[in-house]
Amino acid sequence: MKKIQLLAFALSVFSFPIAAQNKLLTIDDIFSADPTVRLEFSGNPTEVVWSNNGRGYRQVRNGKLMRVDAVTGNASEYFDSATFIRALVKAGIAQDEAEQMANSPTLHFNAHEAEILLDYDNDLWVYDLIAGSLKRLAHNKTEEKEADFSPDSRYVSFIRGNNLFVYDLKNNVEKQITHDGRVDAKPVYNGYLDWLYEEELYGRGDKRGYWWSPDSKYIAFLRLDEGPVPKFIIPNDIPTGQEVEYTDYPKAGDPNPIARLGIADIARGAVTFADLSMYKPADFLLVRAAWSPDSRAVVFQAQNREQTYLDLDVATVYGKSRRLFREISRARVGINDIPFFLKDGTAIWESERDACNHLSH
């Protein structure tokens, strides 16, 4: 049954004609200047994003965002986009831009797909699909980064000025969680990744450095102090007039940013830092973090700069930490992401401890 479902999904997504599989490609098929001869390899429709319920996916077909059943392939309009477009236009967004926004497969829905979070004009907006209303969360024209709904959809979290904020959608109140973020020559990042952590540890394009607890009561976040990191000078030759840019970039042997793991209590607005006294700050990398399913602890991974060991640690919401186990290699211990937690409280751990990749329970 699973094989049949996967085949139906593949055919519905890529829409490859079966007959075309029996024809050998020619040079003209690939490179002909005549569009009636040259084959189209890009596929139509494209851009598949799974729905939050896991039973279907979002896909743009003929310019419209559609909800496609993964088993049957049946498609219908994902939501009432016409009402959404009217709300966007009423808020001052151009008609063509509103239509493009409403039919994007990457629309940011909350967990129940009852609200949409938008980042537009350096402000955050929330659209209520049931009420058909659009709410602007801020009017300060300051960029908010890495915005997200809390798991229970009560809050919207974001980074502004390298500080962590939450917006209470129920009471229409904004609350600043951290206050020591800096954007000057020696920046301090709260919940946002610097160049080193993005490029070398979490993955290029992933700038988010905070994580909601499943019960929406806490946020775990990285605090990265760039003070020790040297400035790297880059001449930007793209503008008409050459510009000089400075970025915090450690060459081999240079100091890394100092990393700490913060745990924010949303109701109290208080921050507790995990006890990392077992590590030397200058030789410490905080390479992954995730919440336990019961929201009682943060499970995080720590390495030395050479990455010859990897520790799986746990910190309570009060900051008390302990090591669960350590993996060691004379060469390098790879990062295989966070444990996959099961419903019974146990977890699946991916490891190369015997030089081959295995899953352990």
Least Cα distance to 156 among 143, 140, 172 occurs for 172
Does 1 score more than 80 pLDDT? no
Q: Which two tokens stand for residue 341?
A: 């937690």
Residue 50 within a domain: yes
What CATH number does residue 266 fall under? 2.140.10.30
Q: What is the pLDDT of residues 205-237, one digit of tens each?
A: 999 999 999 999 999 999 999 999 999 999 999
* 3-class secondary structure, 353: coil
| Residues forming a β-bridge with 128 | 115, 133
Q: What is the pLDDT of residues 247-279, one digit of tens each?
A: 899 999 999 999 999 999 999 999 999 999 999
Do residue 18 and residue 150 come from a single domain?
A: no
Do residue 69 and residue 218 come from a single domain?
A: no
| pLDDT category of residue 345 using cuts at 50, 70 and 90 | confident
Do residue 72 and residue 157 come from a single domain?
A: no
Domain end, chosen from 43, 78, 113, is at: 78
Q: What are phi and psi of 185, to 5 degrees?
A: -65, -20
Question: 75: buried, middle or exposed (CB in 10 Å: 19+, 13-18, 0-12)?
Answer: middle
**Long-range contacts at 248-254 (CB < 8 A, ≥ 24 apart):** 248/187, 248/194, 248/195, 248/196, 249/195, 249/196, 250/196, 254/229, 254/230
Residue ranges making up the domain that contains 345: 142-360
Query: Could you tell me which residues come within 8 angstroms of residue 184 by beta carbon, excluding any fewer than 6 positions away?
Result: none
| pLDDT category of residue 10 using cuts at 50, 70 and 90 | very low
Do residue 232 and residue 328 come from a single domain?
A: yes
- Gap between the Cα atoms of 160 and 151, Å rounded: 21
| Residues forming a β-bridge with 175 | 166
Question: 105: buried, middle or exposed (CB in 10 Å: 19+, 13-18, 0-12)?
Answer: middle
Residue 84 within a domain: no
Q: What is the pLDDT of residues 21-64, one digit of tens each?
A: 577 889 998 898 887 888 777 655 556 889 988 899 999 888 89
Does 202 score more than 90 pLDDT? yes
Residue 108 within a domain: no
Q: What is the pLDDT of residues 103-151, one digit of tens each?
A: 999 999 999 999 999 999 889 999 999 999 999 998 787 899 999 999 9
pLDDT for 13: 46
Residue 96 within a domain: no
Residue 105 within a domain: no
- Pairing mode, strands 123-128 and 270-273: unpaired
* 3-class secondary structure, 75: strand
pLDDT for 58: 93
pLDDT for 155: 98
Domain end, chosen from 25, 53, 78, is at: 78
pLDDT for 98: 96
Residue 122 within a domain: no
Q: What is the pLDDT of residues 66-80, one digit of tens each?
A: 999 999 999 999 999
* Percentage of the residues of the chain whose pLDDT score is greater than 70: 92
Do residue 195 and residue 49 come from a single domain?
A: no
Do residue 68 and residue 156 come from a single domain?
A: no
Query: Could you tell me which residues come within 8 angstroms of residue 134 by beta carbon, excluding any fewer than 6 positions away?
Result: 87, 88, 90, 91, 125, 126, 127, 128
Domain end, chosen from 38, 63, 78, is at: 78
Looking at the structure of the chain, the number of domains it has is 2
Residue 62 within a domain: yes
Residue 106 within a domain: no
Do residue 154 and residue 264 come from a single domain?
A: yes
Do residue 153 and residue 275 come from a single domain?
A: yes
pLDDT for 3: 45
pTM across the whole model: 0.85
